[in-house]
Structure 1
Amino acid sequence: MDRLVDLHMHSTASDGTLTPGEVVAMAREEGLAAIALTDHDTTAGLPEAIAAGRRLGVEVVPGIEISAKRERGTLHIVGLFIDPEDGRLEERCQALQAERGRRNERIVSRLCELGMPVTLDEVRGKSGGGVIGRPHFAAVMVEKGYVATREEAFDRWLAKGQPAYFPKALLDPAESIAMIHDAGGVAVCAHPSQLRCAGEHELEGAIAELRHHGLDAIETQWSTATAEEMALTERVAGRQGLLRSGGSDFHGGNKPDIRMGVARGQIRVTADVLEALRRAARPRART
């Protein structure tokens, strides 16, 4: 039987609901051979996850997920096999988190103006000490009775184009990829359907541009993908000479329909995918 892995997931270090150690423990229960912890703009959860992995016999690939600029849709770039102690990466993450802090203050002010008073302390309490994001605001809004569900919080107030939405600071794609490479990692285009490309030709153009900036791989299996989308992305990866990656984008209770390792039942990422990515990372690893 093929060993299965999951190379995209989140913990309480960003917008997941399980601690890094709990993520690893669940991975063991699910029978996964390896996982990548890829929290948003932070490596804070990696030491706990790596220690838990050693204790429980689950390989933990150090990772990160970075949001990059794109005119249409959303571009997230996952870094795998990064050095979690890279000083330059940490400095850049701290700068991004400072920008997130300013954005969070604006969201608090706007919700208060809209008659839904919340405090940063309340939101921080939902983050478990990790990076604060919109899911934590949504959780407070549900708790205080302003909305019935987290989905309603986003649909009516927090999503792009809604009254309490503010864009977060984003890096250029080239800068995001270089940031990952400088930390010894492999740069992966995450959940490519979120690029909102109109068809295969447009997707290939977008991926080719990222390839020009040094993109190493693309997720060909992800949580919302249809069989047709995965096949399309496989074709694009082959023509562009990119490695494959994949993962569930597991968030725990913040995405309750997504199961670690299988997403909605349609993904199956095998260990050979991990080994190809590992080989690609080695030439850039520091000595």
Structure 2
Amino acid sequence: MLGYFIDMEDTGFQDILREFRAGREDRGRKMVERLDGLGMDITWEEVERIADGAAVGRPHIAQALIERGYVSVWQEAFDKYLGRTGPAYVERTRLEPEEAVRVLLDNGALPVMAHPLYYEREDTRKLKDLVTSLKEAGMVGLEVHYGEFSESEIDMLANIAAELDLIPCGGSDYHASGKPGEIIPGEAGPPMSTIEALREMKGVARAL
């Protein structure tokens, strides 16, 4: 779930973020331990150095594997070790989508569903039912434009967004992974009308 116009001064929201950061650190340490058990000599200190103060995630662990010469690019690290079916994968702490919508609304942010086809790709009716339930919970937008979506998928999502009166959002989801063909910022995303619709809903002045 994406949140637009988040109030970063909201202490309750920051408390939730601290809980998630602690969960991410615990998860990261466990993944490093699993890699060690697989014979890969990387340390938590290396991963923290790569993260450079940011919350540690799998991309930082993947970079440590690259620097040690165990893999060549991020995608190889995910395919072999860090992906959902990989031997070093550890499930993360997460909110259910409805909970995430509530947290963002309590903060005053605009909730938008990210990567909808990750939830359901085969059954359009099931996907629409999920999006409808989140709309009823207060979600205001749907990620329609995304680098990995086909034109037919974008059209299908745009139709769902239009039917449910959701703002069609999107982006490149760029992670600098080194994956061949990775979409870079500016190559995928929504039209400027999306930005204006979000601003209007939030009551934010139009950019000059």
| Structure 2 contact 58–82 (Cα < 8 Å) conserved | yes
What aligned pairs does 1:47-62 form with structure 2 within 5 A after superposition?
A: none
What is the CA deviation profile of residues 47-79 of structure 1, one whole-angstrom value per residue up to 9, with x for unaligned ones?
Answer: xxxxxxxxxxxxxxxxxxxxxxxxxxxxxx000
What aligned pairs does 1:33-48 form with structure 2 within 5 A after superposition?
A: none
Query: What residue is the counterpart of 1:238 in the other structure?
Result: 162
Whichever residue aligns with residue 134 of structure 1, its letter is R
1:254 to partner: Cα distance: 5.3
What aligned pairs does 1:46-125 form with structure 2 within 5 A after superposition?
A: 77-125=1-49
SS of residue in 1 equivalent to 2:203 = helix
Structure that is richer in helix per residue: 2
Query: What residue is the counterpart of 2:65 in the other structure?
Result: 141
SS of residue in 2 equivalent to 1:252 = coil
Whichever residue aligns with residue 194 of structure 2, its letter is V
Count of aligned pairs between the two proteins: 203
The partner residue of 2:56 within 113, 132, 157 is 132
Q: Work out the CA distance in 1 between the residues paired with 2:107 and 2:186.
A: 26
| Structure 2 contact 147–171 (Cα < 8 Å) conserved | yes
| Structure 1 contact 173–213 (Cα < 8 Å) conserved | no
1:160 to partner: Cα distance: 0.4
SS of residue in 2 equivalent to 1:100 = helix
2:183 paired with 1:258:
yes
Identical pairs, percent: 33
Structure that is richer in strand per residue: 1
Whichever residue aligns with residue 84 of structure 2, its letter is K
What aligned pairs does 1:151-170 form with structure 2 within 5 A after superposition?
A: 151-170=75-94
Q: Work out the CA distance in 2 between the residues paired with 1:253 and 1:141.
A: 13
1:191 to partner: Cα distance: 2.1
Structure 1: 5+ residue stretches without partners = 1-76
Whichever residue aligns with residue 276 of structure 1, its letter is A
| Structure 2 contact 66–73 (Cα < 8 Å) conserved | yes
After superposition, the CA RMSD in angstroms is 1.7
1:134 to partner: Cα distance: 0.6
- Indicate how the Cα distance of structure 1 residues 253 and 155 shifts in structure 2: closer, same or farther if over 3 A, else same: closer
Query: What residue is the counterpart of 1:206 in the other structure?
Result: 130
What aligned pairs does 1:183-222 form with structure 2 within 5 A after superposition?
A: 183-222=107-146
Q: Which has the higher contact order (CA 8 A, sep 6+)?
A: 1
The partner residue of 1:274 within 185, 195, 201 is 195
Q: Work out the CA distance in 2 between the residues paired with 1:204 and 1:241.
A: 13
| Structure 2 contact 73–178 (Cα < 8 Å) conserved | no
| Structure 1 contact 218–244 (Cα < 8 Å) conserved | yes
Q: Work out the CA distance in 1 between the residues paired with 2:81 and 2:9.
A: 37
1:182 to partner: Cα distance: 1.6
Structure 2: 5+ residue stretches without partners = none
Runs of 4+ more than 6 Å apart: none
SS of residue in 1 equivalent to 2:186 = coil
Whichever residue aligns with residue 273 of structure 1, its letter is T
What is the CA deviation profile of residues 161-211 of structure 1, one whole-angstrom value per residue up to 9, with x for unaligned ones?
Answer: 211000000012222111111221110011222223313212111211212
SS of residue in 2 equivalent to 1:249 = coil
